Amino acid sequence: MQTAGHPLTDTSATSAPGTRIAAYQLTDYLERLGVEVVFGLCGHTVIGLLDALGKSRIRFVTTRHEQTAAHAADGYARATGKPGVLMTHLGPGLTNAATGVANAALDSIPMVVISGDIQSYYHGRHPHQEVNLHQDADQFQIYRPFCKRVYRVDRAADLPRVMERAFHLAQSGRPGPVLVDVAMDVFSADLPVDSFTKVPAPIARPGLDRATAAGIVDALARAERPVLYAGGGVLSGRATAELAALADALDVPVAHTLMGKGCLHEQHPLLLGQTGFWGTPISNDTCRHADLIVAIGTRLAEANSSSWDPRFTFSIPPTRLIHIDADAAEIGRNYPTELGVVADAKTALAALVDAAKGVKPRSRGRLREEIARGRRAFASNWDHQWSSDQFPMRPERILSELRKAVPEDGFIVTDVGWNKNGVAQQFPITVPGTFITPSGLATMGFGPAAVLGVKLAHPDRAAVALVGDGGFSANPSVVATAMEAELPVIWLVMDNMAFGTIAGLESMHYGWSFGCMFERCGEPYRVDYAAMARSFGARGVTIEAADELGPALTEALASDLPTVIQAPMENAPTPTPGHWDINDVYRRGE
Ligand SMILES: Cc1ncc(C[n+]2csc(CCOP(=O)(O)OP(=O)(O)O)c2C)c(N)n1
């Protein structure tokens, strides 16, 4: 039987003189780029790459579902600032990972996805597991709407160039995922030794020229009611110190988006809080009455802008808007903009701080007292719940126990639901970057998986996924991955036996929560997630009284095993001081 000699590769063990198998050169290259870990799941198209990974210094974290791997790579990227690297099989592997990659894309997270594809020489013959119903060899296009670029590599000689482009593009400008889809025989092909010579160029981030910086500072200093509005770009650009320095220098209050949470220390007297539907009244009101807003690293998204309705968060005009963002396409999208600046948040803010030296701002009157009063007034609606003994627990009590137990530099990774909205609105964050959340795509299932990548990036710091029972049970195989990868993370499951946020919305508009509750034979259906965790060999703790949660968290943080803590919780809605247009859409008939 003939076993060797198909068109691209010679399957004999030895490479021709002066050549080396592409997959080995690829993993050497990834090492050179500083890649420490690849997340992924195997398939027949990628075992050539797996063999090389296994012989490299790079860690491979195998998951039980590609979406988990994608979210874990995303979490790793958020916690390090480096690109996450994901490996998937073709067909179902690629499609399973799509949600996770799209989630990273919508939050501007750098990621390189390497997928195996069919043998290059079977192009057009529709081999096993290829998606090809409308065009031959087309499956990499599935990623096109959310990747910065999708590459298909059919010739081994192209692989070095494409890999360099992928890492360059993923990290430059507005970061995001890039797909490199590799015909499986390319991994096995011989390439001349040292084929991977070129590394991505260091990029000087675009900044502000002096005259523009001076103009913006002058406008801020003269404005009567200015606001600095910080988005995720301030956090990902590691620009929080510059933001605080600018706010202090010109005495300007700071509001932020969901992904901007943590941009200023919780106790900072100029911190207003989050804007929008789940924002705070003082933040929404101050923004709405501002005469000038300087927005940095944000796309002024719908949820944070109360569906752009001028009655709730931003009223632009008459408010004047200066918008600084890495992506020109975001400027002027939803609001008339007096000045758009395409720049990196850190360089831009540093230039503004420089320009503000010696500038005396207009007096802001009793601004700091008003902020303190506004924050206190809103908190008084719910802060008594922080000590509530009620059981099933109040969500606020869960937050208070979490804040007390987790060190300030510990990571809180949320999913979607009360966990995300409540933490963004009410939970104090003091160390920038410790709040990690899915914003743009808001994918249920993100938190339980992303925490794995976060913990891997910072093994010495606490990492807790605060998740709903819906989000946790979307893919509980994360517990197996945490066990295998020895990642002692905590999943604190806020268990209300429902897709609670949507159940609440439906109930408010339609008087019932059809299709949103967890039920069996008409009765509430509670899964024993703690027992499930124990069946994986992990720790599982069921909370039976509110005062058990604090000690359970402390024990879990001290343990070297992953822990699921299941906290039965009342399905109480998160307060919504802002507006969401969907509430005007629903119609109830007979
Ligand atoms: C993949 C995905 N499907 C559906 C949704 C819509 N969605 C938003 S919140 C939510 C409920 C989440 O339930 P749970 O995790 O139990 O948290 P809770 O709302 O109860 O706090 C759903 C289904 C989503 N965001 N992502």
Give the model confidence (pLDDT) of 370-415 as tens digits: 999 999 999 999 999 999 999 999 999 999 999 999 999 999 999 9
Per-residue confidence (pLDDT) for residue 236, from 0 to 100: 96
First-to-last alpha carbon distance for the chain, in angstroms, is: 72
How far does the centroid of ligand 1 lie from the alpha carbon of residue 585, in Å?
A: 20
CA dist 437 → 324, 385, 495 (Å):
22, 24, 19
Statement: the pTM of the whole predicted model exceeds 0.95:
yes
- pLDDT tens figures, 454-482: 999 999 999 999 999 999 999 999 999 99
CA dist 418 → 120, 225, 278, 502, 572 (Å):
47, 32, 10, 10, 8
**Nearest of 485, 441, 498 to residue 74 by alpha carbon:** 441
Task: Specify whether the CB–CB gap between 170 and 110 falls below 8 A.
Answer: yes
Cis peptide before 177 (omega within 30 of 0): no
Per-residue confidence (pLDDT) for residue 143, from 0 to 100: 98
Per-residue confidence (pLDDT) for residue 13, from 0 to 100: 66
Q: How many CA atoms lie within 13 A of 377 on its CB side?
A: 12
- Residue whose CA is closest, atom 4 of ligand 1? 444
Q: Is 367 in the pocket of ligand 1 (CB under 6 A)?
A: no
Per-residue confidence (pLDDT) for residue 3, from 0 to 100: 37
Per-residue confidence (pLDDT) for residue 4, from 0 to 100: 39
Distance CA 540, CA 522 (A): 27
Neighbours of 312 (CB within 10 A): 22
Element (H, E) at 271: strand 271-274
Question: Can you read off the two tokens belonging to residue 494?
Answer: 């806020």
Per-residue confidence (pLDDT) for residue 9, from 0 to 100: 54
Q: Ligand 1: which of 277, 499, 569 to mutate, judged by most atoms within 8 Å of the beta carbon?
A: 499
Q: Is 498 in the pocket of ligand 1 (CB under 6 A)?
A: yes
How far does the centroid of ligand 1 lie from the alpha carbon of residue 469, in Å?
A: 9
Q: How many CA atoms lie within 13 A of 45 on its CB side?
A: 25
Task: Specify whether the CB–CB gap between 445 and 299 falls below 8 A.
Answer: no
Q: Is 470 in the pocket of ligand 1 (CB under 6 A)?
A: yes
Task: Specify whether the CB–CB gap between 491 and 465 falls below 8 A.
Answer: yes
Phi, psi values for residue 499, rounded to 5°: -80, 75
Neighbours of 576 (CB within 10 A): 15
Q: Is 496 in the pocket of ligand 1 (CB under 6 A)?
A: yes
How far does the centroid of ligand 1 lie from the alpha carbon of residue 578, in Å?
A: 20
Buried b (16+ CB within 10 A) or exposed e, 169-188: bbbbbbbbbbbbbbbbbbbb
Per-residue confidence (pLDDT) for residue 463, from 0 to 100: 98
Per-residue confidence (pLDDT) for residue 8, from 0 to 100: 53
Residues of the chain scoring pLDDT < 50 = 1-5
Task: Specify whether the CB–CB gap between 424 and 479 falls below 8 A.
Answer: no
Q: Is 233 in the pocket of ligand 1 (CB under 6 A)?
A: no
Distance CA 445, CA 299 (A): 24
Buried b (16+ CB within 10 A) or exposed e, 129-165: bbbbeeeebebbbbbeebbbbbbbbbebebbbebbbb
